[in-house]
Structure 1
């Protein structure tokens, strides 16, 4: 067994004696003992962690910007002079469904590559795909071109979900992982705020002609993506991934460098890491082993992941894909100002993970996940009743949505956190991709198509039905979490789900 000692000379990562069992380090055939995971988990928060958050987490802002811009400028795209020949139903239904279909496909495609070739390589590639597709969307000259590059934009964003969530969870210390993951996923709504306000400007024909404003809105996403790409170049590969894939020396050197930075920043020596793990390195894992691990070894967790993703997808689609139409048809709100209403809703969404995130690390995963899902679903049932009874105005309807989504946003963000931490390291990116794709496909492809019809019919009962579908599935997911959620707060990823590569005494 090859022993990985303390490269820094003072941190005590050595774990005893052993003899080599394979070829030289780096070939992916050795058994090694290391404290790299424990060393990462015991780090205090530092500037290095902020660099991770900015470089990786800000991509959700782009996703929020993308989705919201399309929803808010749908009315302008259908007008004469926009440069496109599309209908409102095509933009809010077909284009939205294609974007989500692209995201699901991209998650599965890039999720597999992320587990095979590393987090860093793929989160650079997926951002590049997003940038190219968004730029080409801005140049759309016909409906088919617009639809094609909406699909490809989603393809890149879906790949980001798998690569980014796996990297973040493997780099952030365990005691901060819940709140950081929730806030990062919740930053989607900062992009939604920006997209809402930007769409107001883009729709102002006194500032930009009808054919230009919406194109500039997409171009802004490209500019922001390029800035993120510059920061992301400095984000390292996951040491956990390096360790398992035969690049143990790189993992050790990387963690040693981070430790030195943190000690220099804090002026204090780091405590000794607690425990070591022994693993047999491997270069790849097949789909068959991944599937058996997720569904045979962790069936309750698989049910939990699917339930959380499906529930949040339907609740959000019940509201967000029809909010503009509801405001316009039922409350006579001008299409030019719906962006202001959605900016308020989006900001409420961001406040949920921001203010509730720390409780997922302190109160615990199970009560917080179940509580946010069930409470948001019940509140949406109440909103549906008030709307059906004609007791709401545009302002009070927006206020109800804000309250519902304050809790729903924290719950939805916890779905990504959950599936990224409850399965073994070797399957992490693929597990994220699978549950995201299945759950989002169920709610995100069928949702827009179903809810677009219900919310655009002009019949209050149809909109009430849309709300009740989303609310019911959200409550059901919360009940699943009551029984199946994992108490992962403050625990290392290796304790939550033992890596497939770990050797035990009986191995």
Structure 2
């Protein structure tokens, strides 16, 4: 049903309150593992393909040129952007559950077929297909996770899930060291097994997802209140069984009136995100661009700095990559809880500003020749202990502060903006700065990234939304919500901008 069709019948519901008052249970661990594994796969993919790239230039493999290896990496990122936008729209229209099966299936097909590549064009096409699936996962999975995780746990659950990317990156570094660099996986046909490993993981995740229900929040705004009630009742039974606790009923004040409008048009999506929530849209743009610039600039070029300025052999940079990944994951886990207790605004502003200041200090010490490869890596680890929480908080923010009807599409839009800025501009800029061989040029790059993070901190402090331990519907009123005014005549609120 579209927004232009005949209006559906109103009804009262406590579904959001019932989902948010649940204690943590095995059901929520299932959500974390079955849906959150996407980020582990993405980290594993990017790390392994980067390691395998030089092998693929051998005549005994695909015989690619160095330029073609780079093009294939860009095609994967383009696939992510296209997948996020396309599947994001479908996720809001047809449901979270259908799409997180489809997107993982697309990724599984892409990575499995990559193992069967016979040349550059087939390799690039299959990389695009894998990227298409992963990009779709970002919008489908983040929206489902936020709608299924209780409000009290949503912040640190999201950060832990995002942090799992670095588990994948660490595993990729280990595989690189002990299988690729050691010669266990040779430059012949055995490189294909690496992609087969990714396909096997994706298949396991698909099996786990059979036990993840559709979001009852999505069902309730798409004229399926009975189905939404069934899902919530099933979840409540599973939680009571695993915790041995009887759940209390939500207060009467926790009910809300819904007038389902189903899917909304593309024009109304743009209006809801960029007009009704203009300040929130600007906030998300800045948070995504700044964190993506910092991350992609450093992560994709740290090996070049270690090799060019500290004479570390290229194969050995993987050891430093393990430490880098560990610091990122630990930061997400250690700081995540504070996003729910201290609050979003102070924690996001704090992590953005601290990581920016520390990066500027690192750049200054690098410029003055005061660092070794070890101390440079230690400082990177300290910077990204905070930066990983900041970057994850950008995804947390966009998944919380827009109305339910456009949540997946909003995630897709700002993910695409971040990838365009960070995935394309930052690595190219830093690659050129490092390639100049002049420490002063690298310092300038560090200053740019640090300045952008400080900009993100300032904007978050003044425009950030206090969403900690609040229902998603309280943070951003659904377009479908129906509010009675003082004269008892119905009216719709301006969606999502009560704090703006």
TM-score above 0.5, yes or no: yes
Q: Residue in 1 aligned with 2:165?
A: 188
Alignment partner of 1:224 is 2:204: no
Instruction: Measure how far apart 1:81 and its partner are.
Output: 4.0
The change in CA–CA distance for 1:464 and 1:143 in structure 2 (over 3 A counts) is farther
Distance 2:376 2:242 in 1: 48
- Which of the residues 154, 161, 168 maps onto 2:131? 154
State the alpha-carbon separation in 1 of the partners of residues 232 and 250 from structure 2. 12
The structural deviation recorded for 1:28 is 8.3
Counterpart of 2:117 in structure 1 is 140
**How far did 1:339 drift?**
1.4
Distance 1:448 1:242 in 2: 41
RMSD (Å), alpha carbons: 1.8
CA distance in 2, matches of 1:375, 1:213: 44
Corresponding residue for residue 108 of structure 1:
85
Q: Is the 8 A contact 1:95 1:150 kept in 2?
A: yes
The answer on 1:68 being equivalent to 2:68 is: no
Taking the aligned partners of 1:466 and 1:151, their CA distance within structure 2 comes to 30
Query: 1:43 Cα shift?
Result: 0.5
SS in 2 for 1:245: coil
Give the whole-Å Cα distance in 2 for the aligned partners of 1:225 and 1:383.
Answer: 38
* Conservation of the 8 A alpha-carbon contact between 1:202 and 1:217: no
Aligned match for 1:306, one of 280, 285, 294: 285
Aligned residue in 2 for 1:243: 220
Change (3 A) 1:146 1:457: farther
Query: Does structure 1 retain, via aligned residues, the 8 Å contact 2:111–2:195?
Result: yes
- SS of equivalent to 1:337: helix
1:499 Cα offset (Å): 0.3
Deviation, 1:390, is 1.8
CA distance in 2, matches of 1:315, 1:384: 13
Which residue of 177, 183, 186 corresponds with 1:209?
Answer: 186
Query: Which residue among 31, 40, 47 is the counterpart of 2:10?
Result: 31
Equivalent residue for 2:306? 327
Residue 246 of structure 2 is aligned to residue 269 of structure 1: yes
Separation in 2, partners of 1:260, 1:226 = 28
2:331 partner SS? helix
Bigger drift between 66-75 and 169-178 goes to 66-75
Paired position in structure 2 for 1:409: 388
1:317-356 correspondence to structure 2 within 5 Å: 317-356=296-335
Distance 1:469 1:213 in 2: 42
- Among 137, 153, 164, the residue aligned to 2:141: 164
Deviation at 1:332, TM superposition (A): 1.6
Which of 365, 388, 391 matches 1:386?
365
CA displacement 1:183-235 (0-9 Å, x = unmatched): 10111111010111112234235323213453322221111111111101211
1:280 aligns with 2:259: yes
Q: Which runs of 5+ in 2 are unaligned?
A: 485-489, 492-500
TM-score (norm 2): 0.92
Find the aligned partners of 2:366 and 2:57 in 1 and give their Cα distance.
28
Indicate how the Cα distance of structure 1 residues 28 and 187 shifts in structure 2: closer, same or farther if over 3 A, else same. farther
Aligned to 2:76: 99
Structure 1 residue 82 displacement after superposition: 4.2
Give the match for residue 293 of structure 1. 272
When residues 465 and 133 of structure 1 are mapped into structure 2, their CA distance, relative to the original with a 3 A threshold, is farther
Contact 1:365 1:488 in 2 (8 A): yes
Offset from partner CA, 1:360-385 (integer Å, 9 cap, x none): 00000000001111111111111111
Separation in 2, partners of 1:481, 1:204: 43
Contact 1:199 1:214 in 2 (8 A): no
Residue 367 of structure 1 aligns with which residue? 346
In the alignment, is the contact (CA less than 8 A) between 1:314 and 1:443 conserved in 2? yes
* Total equivalences in the alignment: 480
Q: Is the aligned partner of 1:128 residue 2:98?
A: no
Q: Is this contact kept in 1: 2:80–2:135, CA < 8 A?
A: yes
- Structure 1 unaligned regions, length at least 5: 1-21
Q: Would you say the 8 A contact 1:28–1:244 is kept in 2?
A: no
Tell me, what secondary structure is at the counterpart of 1:58?
A: helix
More displaced stretch, 267-276 vs 241-250: 267-276
